Structure 1
């Protein structure tokens, strides 16, 4: 019992020191490396005493810390003209609460919360700079995500409809929230780094936002005589490579139980594309091109279109299996991949977890959809880009298609090396 008690007190002290170190480094006048450990330990001891004497001890401790903060700020106002923010004050109250939570809650959660407080305090400049860089359009994007995830999603019925009993409005919109969130994450990463993005970062951000949109943007740029077509081809290839990471992320979120089956062939595809991209990187050159302006992915119209596509794909998958057997799903994968790989990935993963599709056929349906999308990008490059870009994209993505077809054809069904890991 004493060992556990000292462990709790040690964690409390460590978290207080961590946050106090950061505040001391930032020259906080109110509290620093000595005060924060004392505040956190006070919270922990108050919670320990509350076991014997009741919860009023914690409440009294919280009120006492609040009074100290108020008095400290009053004295500072009397002695200085400049008024700083309330960050340190709030951090003190929060660390007191985290110290108290350590006694009755999870130490892992408390450590995560304490580390988060320290990181947030340290990232003041980065966060303020990010807010300064975003505009009204970006604030609207965040609000639209809130509407999509917290207003629309809760009111949708969580039951299935239709002849195949697969259309669930709540689940469909949940997939919309997932895809919009991933795309918005990439979009804000672009807002933070887009102006400085080189080929690797530009392609990676493009893959998170939309690899197809990235293909269109860079293909159009190559119509200019000064455009670096090898650089454009590399960015498109990297965006397509990250799209496979995005597929694995989506499967991890919606169907983690099947990741052991899905991951190995897709990791093989990722490694193949990484090698091809590495060779292309050697020949890319550099003319200082900036990443093209990215569209805001959190549009309600975009969300509705994806929801419609996802619903059609999951219904078409069930119908194709009914009329044509599981082989009919390959046709759905090809057609869906021309428009949206996310839809075929999420719908197939759902059907795999429910047992409606054989696991080894399921990952092949997803891969066929991804390869169909890559073939579509070659066509886009030919129509929208220069002849030089088309030649390079046809070679690079053509090698990817050959490798993908080989994996479809030769991958052994009994190979399931990652099942124990996931």
Structure 2
């Protein structure tokens, strides 16, 4: 018991030293390497006393720290170089509470909070630079995502409605959050690295935000003599590669229990694309271009459209399975994959997760949708791009299409990665 107590006090001391070290390095006038450990230990001791005396001890301790901080802040104002910021003051109050939580709560959570506090304090200049680079459109994207995640999602009912009892508003919107979140990650990566992101990074960001939009953009630009044919084809292929990686990620997140059966054949296609992409990049001219301006992926209209498409795919999948059996799912996969492979991927993963679709057919449906999407992008390049880009992309996509069909045809039935490794 004593050893466990001393371990907790050691954690409290260590967290205080960590934050105090950072504040001392920044030459804080209020508290530094000695004061912050005293705050956390004070919180821990107050928490220990509260267990036998009462919770008022903690309240009194927090009030005492707040009073000390207030007095120090008043005295600090006499300095002609007074900094009106309250960061150190807020950190002091938080670290007192962290010290108390080490005793009364989960030590792992306390460590995470203390370490996060130290990192946030240390990243002051970096965070300020990021905020300075955020424009009105970027701030709007953040706020819209907050509304999508923290306002709309919690109020949606978590129960099923409609035909076949498959429409769950909460689950549908959760998939919207997942897709918008992935796209928003790519969007802000684009904002950080800028338009001149380079060929590989341009393709990766395009695949994260929207591989279809990237395909359309570079196909159109290929008709401009200033845009390299090899560049356009390479970026389109990398973006498509990332879109397949997105599919694998979505399945792993939505239906992790199916990973050992579903992910190996999909990963095989991804590895083939990686090999083809590396060869293409190594033999192409090292040309760099400015990445086209990316739109806000967190727009409510786009979110609502995806939610509606996802709901329709769920209904179509349930109808096809009921009327046509598993063969009907492949028809839905081909049609849905033409425009939005995320919707059919997520709906199929959901069916597998609840046991309404066996995993062997599930991964095949997802792969068919991915290949359908590949064909659709190839057609877009043929319609919108020049003949040289279409020929290059056609060869690359053709290799992947043949490889995907071979996986569908030759993949061993009942393959399970877990059983294979064991």
TM class by shorter-chain length? over 0.9
Cα distance, 1:76–1:269 mapped onto 2, change above 3 Å: same
Residues 25-40 of structure 1 aligned to structure 2 (within 5 Å): 25-40=25-40
Structure 1 position 396 matched with structure 2 position 396: yes
Question: Which 5+ residue runs of structure 2 have no aligned equivalent?
Answer: none
Q: CA deviation at 1:50?
A: 1.4
Deviates more, 1:390-399 or 1:251-260: 251-260
Output the TM-score relative to the length of structure 1.
Answer: 0.94
Deviation (angstroms), 1:231: 2.0
8 Å CA contact 1:230–1:283 kept in 2: the answer is no
- The equivalent residue for 1:95 is 95
Whole-angstrom distance in 2 between the partners of 1:263 and 1:22: 44
Deviations 1:4-31 (A, max 9, x none): 1121112222222222222233332222
Query: For 1:266 and 1:297, how far apart are their aligned partners in 2?
Result: 26
Which residue matches 2:340?
A: 340
Pairing 1:262–2:262 present: yes
Backbone CA RMSD of aligned residues: 1.9
The answer to whether residue 197 in structure 2 is matched with residue 200 in structure 1 is: no
Aligned 1:71-90 pairs, distance under 5 A: 71-90=71-90
**Structure 1 pair 25/262, CA: closer, same or farther in 2 (3 Å)?**
farther
CA distance in 2, matches of 1:92, 1:285: 56
1:194 & 1:240 partners in 2: Cα distance? 21
Report what 2:381 is aligned to: 381
Structure 1 residue 419, shift from structure 2 partner: 7.3
Q: Is the 8 A contact 1:261 1:419 kept in 2?
A: no
Distance in 2 (alpha carbons) for counterparts of 1:412 and 1:397: 24
Aligned residue number for residue 295 of structure 1: 295
Q: Secondary structure at the match of 1:195?
A: coil
Q: In the alignment, what sits opposite 2:273? A: 273
- Structure 1 residue 253 and structure 2 residue 253: aligned? yes
CA distance in 1, matches of 2:139, 2:224: 33
Is 1:356 equivalent to 2:338 in the alignment?
Answer: no
Equivalent in the alignment of 2:239: 239
Distance 1:160 1:44 in 2: 47
* Partner SS state of residue 225, structure 2: coil
1: CA distance, partners of 2:221 / 2:408:
34
**Structure 1 residue 196: Cα displacement:** 4.5
Q: Is the 8 A contact 2:321 2:328 kept in 1?
A: yes
Tell me which stretches of 4 or more aligned residues in structure 1 moved more than 6 Å. Answer: none
Q: What TM-score do the two structures reach when normalised by structure 2? A: 0.94
Q: 1:201 Cα deviation (Å)?
A: 1.9
The number of equivalent residue pairs is 421
Partner of 2:367: 367
Look up the SS of the partner of 2:416 in the other structure.
coil
How far is the alpha carbon of 1:316 from its aligned partner?
Answer: 0.7
Contact in 2 for aligned 1:321/1:329 (Cα 8 Å): yes
SS at 1:304's partner residue? helix
Paired with 1:58 and 1:284, the residues of 2 have a C-alpha distance of: 66
Q: Is the 8 A contact 2:254 2:353 kept in 1?
A: no
